[in-house]
Amino acid sequence: MSVYGYERATTPFMDSIANESVIYFNHWTNSSKTTGSIGSLLSGKYPTRTKVIFRPDTFTGEDMFQHLPGILKQLGYFNIDITMRHYIDPDDLKLRNSFDYANDRYITTISDSFNHAYLRSWPATVQFIEENGQRLQQRLTHLLTDSSMVNPHKQVNQGHSLRPQSSDQGRMEQLKQQLMTAPRPFFANIHLLGPHGNRFIYEQPIFTADKHQPLPWQVDHYDNAIFQWDSYSRDIYRLLEASGELENTLLVFNSDHGWRHHINETLPLIIRYPNQTRTGVVTQASQRLDIAPTVLGYLGITPPTWMDGHDLNARSDNDYPIFIVTSARLQASNAGDWKIAAKLTPPFYSLGTMSMLYCGVLYSIDVNDILQPRLSYQEVENKKSSCTASSLTPRSAYKKIISHLQHMGYDTGSVFEHVADETRDKQYSVRVE
């Protein structure tokens, strides 16, 4: 992104509104996968708390009702979600009483009496009935009409079989229609696939001669997709400006995860406040789950205590550890598109790697093999963070990671023993300025 100093002019619109916005230069995801990252964005909670890391995870218990859109709905907001079915659709993830409109359909709100009587008493039974009802409906529709079965994995990774309204162009048209007709006030969460990869989707080639992508993850085509995203952002800005709503609207530009799902690189976070009440550059470390409490804080609402994130406009100057998850490694059984499944085994299920970022160092415990979890740490780009000088041994950092997992209810017995054995005789330390 050129707004962050990239040599290509990939974000000319963002460049033009940089002086109207707050630009965060040290922002991190809380999950390498979209599911966990969107879950953190909307709930303000760590993926380790909700156990929503990657599908087939869904929200359960009180987490189904504790989220940003639910709070806004109680305040009279009309909530719009334009994202991706299966992976991050709020209804598919069981975010109850959250959105009014989601992915080309209107969502029926479940009554409070049903919430208390059934969902809280028998959440697994209700989810079983809902999931099988949806699957039966999909199969009957496939058998009785010309509609084909959808492969969410191919849609996300290669853009296959996207219906016109599910393409990024279609999503933007949905958004524009909703912005013009939805009741006020509104909250909208939009997720685009163009820059996702491993093949990139865009309308016109800018930095390449054509759209041909013989190999996955080609940077020139990635830049094309980012340029397209920037163009879509410009269109929404201008629509709000023309309708007189721009200075009534808080705009948050962000990404759920980085290139190839890496967690050791920063992400964009650009917030344009109405009437430019806040502008400038922030180098202090922030994380994805800080966005929800920041939005609430701007609206004059004290973030609830169940949110793990911080209001970025009201926090102290002291940096805090940022915890990041990756999903369990996938394994393929037999052949075919539908035979890919995660290794969902106790005690960590969909959790693959637990990492902690603190003062420019990323510490990680890989628990894919619980008998011999792997330990690692690396210095990462810190982008002039305000983090004060600190001394933290890897052993202490790994203990903090284990304490976090224990606090979130994980059984860490085998990991704790392995970490103790691995670090007992090592005297290394890392000092970060």
Domain-wise residue ranges, the chain: 13-315, 325-432
Q: Is the predicted pLDDT of residue 193 greater than 50, yes or no? A: yes
CA gap 26, 12 in Å, rounded: 21
Which is more confidently placed, 73 or 415? Answer: 73
Q: Which pLDDT score is estimated for 332?
A: 46
pLDDT in the model for residue 408: 97
Phi (first) and psi of residue 123, to 5 degrees: -60, -40
pLDDT digits (tens, 9 = 90+) for 305-352: 999 999 999 998 888 999 999 999 865 444 444 445 556 788 999 999
Strand positions, DSSP E, 264-408: 267-272, 280-282, 286-287, 322-327, 330-332, 340-342, 351-358, 361-366, 374-379, 390-392
> Token digits for 193?
């696939």
Whether 427 has a pLDDT exceeding 80, the answer reads no
Q: Answer yes or no: are the C-beta atoms of 34 and 192 closer than 8 Å.
A: no
Q: What is the pLDDT of residues 106-149, one digit of tens each?
A: 887 655 555 556 766 777 777 788 778 877 887 888 788 877 76
CA neighbor of 30 nearest in space, from 353, 329, 251, 298: 353
pLDDT of residue 336: 46
For residues 283 and 6, give the distance between their C-alpha atoms in angstroms, rounded to a whole number: 17
Query: pLDDT at position 155, please?
Result: 61
At residue 128, the pLDDT reads: 80
pTM score, whole prediction? 0.89
Side chain identity, residue 99? F
For residues 389 and 391, what is the distance between their CA atoms, to the nearest angstrom? 7
Which residues on neighbouring strands pair with residue 272, listed in sequence order? 251
The string of pLDDT tens digits covering residues 253-305 is 999 999 999 999 999 999 999 999 999 999 999 999 999 999 999 999 999 99
Q: What would the CATH number be for the domain defined by 13-315?
A: 3.40.720.10
Tokens representing residue 421 in the block: 């054995």
With the CA atoms of 49, 364, 261 and 13 taken in that order, what torsion angle do they form, in degrees rounded to the nearest 10? 90
